[in-house]
Amino acid sequence: MEPSPSHSATPPLPSKESLIKRYKPIWRLLLIFNLALGGYMFAKSRKKNMTMEDRGDAKTGLEESKAAVKYPFAPTATIPFVEEPLIPIVATKPVKVQEPIPEDQQRELFKWILEEKRKIKPKNPEEKKRIDEEKAILKQFIRAKSIPKL
pLDDT digits (tens, 9 = 90+) for 68-127: 555 555 555 566 666 666 676 777 788 888 888 888 888 999 999 999 999 999 999 999
Q: What is the 3-state secondary structure (H, E, C) of the chain?
A: CCCCHHHCCCCCCCCCCCHHHHCHHHHHHHHHHHHHHHHHHHHHHHHHHHHHHHCCCCCCHHHHHHHHHHCCCCCCCCCCCCCCCCCCCCCCCCCCCCCCCCHHHHHHHHHHHHHHHHHCCCCCHHHHHHHHHHHHHHHHHHHCCCCCCC
Q: For the full predicted model, state whether its pTM sits above 0.75.
A: no
User: Using one digit for the tens of pLDDT, what is the confidence trace for 8-61?
Assistant: 566 665 666 677 778 888 888 999 999 999 999 988 888 777 665 555 544 555
| Length in residues, the chain | 150
- Rounded CA separation 137/113 (Å): 11
Give the CA count within 13 Å in the CB-facing half-sphere of 110: 20
Backbone φ and ψ of 49, nearest 5°: -65, -40
- pLDDT score of 146: 82
